[in-house]
Structure 1
Amino acid sequence: MGRGAAARVGPGAQELPLRPAAPLDLFSPELDRPDAPPAFTVSQLGRAVQELLRDAFDSVWLTGEVARYRPSQNGHHYFDLIEKGEDDRIVGTLSAVVWRGEWTRIRPLLERAGQRLADGLAVRCRVTVDFYPPGGRLQVQVREIDPAFTLGDLERRRRETLAELAAAGLLEANRALPLPDLPLEIGLVSSQGSAAYHDFLATLAESGYGFRVLFVHAAVQGFEAEREVVSALDLLGRAGVDVVALVRGGGSRTDLAAFDSRAIAGAVARATRPVLTGLGHEIDQSVADLAAHRAFKTPTKVAEFLVARLAEAEQTVTRQATRLAAAP
């Protein structure tokens, strides 16, 4: 708007000069007030927190339960350490990592104790508390894991579960159910496509008997095992099968931990059909094994037992037929 335009608007109008403004530097010292307290930048504060935590918690022992275990392709192992309160509500969570270099030292110690990292595992570990400024993330870096603590916790849980089942009169409940002489309708609970799954089915198929197998997939280790195994046992019980086979392959002692849980052992004990277990562990017996109608070392042994039972029934019928034919 020129002078003429300003005049036309009226005596109060004024033309303002338009000049490019210099960019405003928010961190310029010229903007600091003399009485203002010093301020951190975000990265400065992040580094200060990092140094403080590293100095204060350079080496501390920490107990918790493994959750969301995620081994990576580059050899690092990530997971959460959680603490549960009443009704199994999570009251504390820390992100954790075992770096690849530490894992090469920790892994053999765990393997010698028959253990491996898995969801639901209680651990006692020595950690360094660290803070990652670019991501604003608190993390504990695991330097050492105490296998004796994990074994002690597993044994404590096992004893508690056994005591609860015994007090409720459930340890003999499934064993008291009658096992059919001709168990042709088989309910199978296992991990689909696993070696245990194939071994069991192959043994039945090779027998030549007319078995009918109703299969329900369930995770047999890790975080989902309890919920899925309990659901599968309930479903097969309502389906009216003759017997249920609960099988899985071998593994470490901690892999078997789910079958010491109240949920799975209780579901086996309360099952409305006889439950035969073949959990693939040559040394240890789980609480689920003790609550089952009968326990076997491997999935193949479970299948062989069922085949032998039919063979015995067949022989009985053959003997009876021979006697009838020979009768005058």
Structure 2
Amino acid sequence: MNSPFAISFMRLSELNMLIRNKLSDAFKNNTFWIVAELSNVNYYSAKNYYFFDLVEKEEGNQLIVAKISASAFGSGSQRIQSFEQVTGQKISGNIQVLIQVSVDYHVVYGLKLLVKDIDPSFTLGNLERQRQHTLLRLLKEYPDSIQLINGEYITPNKRLKLPRVIQKIAILSSENAAGYTDFVNSLMINNFGYQFYLYPYFTTVQGENNTTLLVDRMKDVIQSEDQYDILVIIRGGGSQSDLLLFDQYEIASAIAFFPIPIITGIGHHKDISIADLMANKSTNTPTKVAEMIIEHNHIFE
């Protein structure tokens, strides 16, 4: 048997340097615009670095067909921050982007892509396309229940009449949200001495991955032995990506068919979510929701 020391070999570092040199020659000074979805986004503010995965999923399902690590620093980080200012949203998982990258290989950390630029107009257009797709899906799947009439979406929830006096209020909100505190204070400390009975159902009210949590809490409201006059869904302000939760089909349909009138106040000033369009009434902040309820009761007098 031949001695293993007679076999020609190289050190791992030598192989990795060979890979690096080959890739450097192949991709030297080249950049590429690619479409991919963000995943596992991490930001390190101390050094202004971003680390995330870029993934491609098979159309029609969630099967990942391609994945690679990426990072941004220096001008790349500046381009991401410019993107966030233009789009009004922080980069986060499940957002599809058109991003310019170069190929980098490190002998210790392996293969990754370096961010050079990111196109905000692509993401804004894609989000609007997804939004319109959801609205059309709701109209198509429930033609007898959800209708678009003179520019307004008419839903079963919107057809419900508010009680003449609102007193028992179920609340979907984050427990620690400033918006929840604003709502409670504005409602309970009113100029007319009106009394209200509040029943909070705390949950996460941001991030599109929390759709199931919010829908489940809505089911808890329905299954409660208490009979509520209305359900309010409130949250404080936030980035555009935080509001993506309220453009999700499952939440929109749950609101549209909810058996108790819903008033939304989810902390936006410029954009109307699909949840707003499906609800009985909507306004832009939790404080405005409280004012709407007080005014409703005052009119009854």
TM superposition score normalised by structure 2: 0.84
Letter in 2 for 1:295: S
Q: Which residue of 1 aligns with 2:157?
A: 174
Any stretches of 5+ residues in structure 2 without a counterpart?
Answer: 147-152
Go from structure 1 to structure 2 and tell me whether the alpha carbon gap of 1:66 and 1:31 turns closer, same or farther (over 3 Å shift).
closer
Q: Which runs of 4+ in 1 moved over 4 A?
A: none
Map 1:139-178 onto structure 2 (within 5 A). 139-167=112-140, 168-169=142-143, 170=146, 171=153, 172-178=155-161
Is the aligned partner of 1:301 residue 2:288?
yes
Amino acid at match of 1:48: L
Residue 260 of structure 2 aligns with which residue?
A: 273
Distance verdict in 2 for CA 1:54–1:186, change over 3 Å: farther
Q: In the superposition, relative to structure 1, how do residues 223 and 164 fare at CA in structure 2: closer, same or farther (>3 Å)? A: closer
Over 3 Å counting, the alpha-carbon distance change for 1:100 and 1:194 in structure 2 is farther
Offset of residue 126 of structure 1: 0.9
1:39 to 2:9 alignment: yes
Corresponding residue SS for 1:179: coil
Partner of 1:127 in structure 2?
101
Superposed CA deviations along residues 258-316 of structure 1, whole A, max 9, x for unmatched, are 22221221222122222211122222111111111111011111111112222233x1x
Q: Deviations over 1:199-252 (max 9, x none)?
A: 111111212432222222333332533222222222222224221111222334
Q: 1:80-229 to 2 correspondence within 5 Å? A: 80-85=53-58, 86-135=60-109, 137-167=110-140, 168-169=142-143, 170=146, 171=153, 172-207=155-190, 208-229=193-214
Q: How does 1:242-281 map to 2 (within 5 A)?
A: 242-281=229-268
Q: Could you tell me how far 1:55 is from its partner in structure 2?
A: 4.3
| Conservation of the 8 A alpha-carbon contact between 1:129 and 1:141 | yes
The answer for the alignment partner of 1:70 in structure 2 is: 42
Query: CA RMSD for the aligned pairs?
Result: 2.3
Q: Does residue 1:283 correspond to 2:270, yes or no?
A: yes
Secondary structure of the residue aligned to 1:175 is: helix
Distance 1:276 1:54 in 2: 57
CA distance in 2, matches of 1:230, 1:56: 50
Q: Is the 8 A contact 2:208 2:242 kept in 1?
A: no
Q: What amino acid is aligned across from residue 228 of structure 2 in structure 1?
A: V
- Residues 102/87 of structure 1: CA separation in 2 closer, same or farther (3 Å cut): closer
Q: 1:92 to 1:281 in 2, by over 3 A?
A: same
Give structure 1 stretches of 5+ with no counterpart: 1-29, 316-328
Q: Normalising by structure 1, what TM-score?
A: 0.77
Partners of 1:99 and 1:107 in 2: CA distance:
11
Count of equivalent residues: 281
**8 Å Cα contact 1:248-1:280 kept in structure 2:** yes
- Identify the structure with the greater strand proportion: 2
Amino acid at match of 2:268: H
Tell me the amino acid that sits aligned with residue 40 of structure 1. Answer: M
SS at match of 1:229: helix
State the alpha-carbon separation in 2 of the partners of residues 83 and 128 from structure 1. Answer: 17
Contact 2:207 2:241 in 1 (8 A): no
Q: Which is higher, the Rg of structure 1 or of structure 2?
A: 1
Q: Taking structure 1 as reference, are residues 174 and 83 closer, same or farther at Cα in structure 2, changes over 3 Å only?
A: farther
Query: How far apart in 1 are the matches of 2:88 and 2:14?
Result: 45
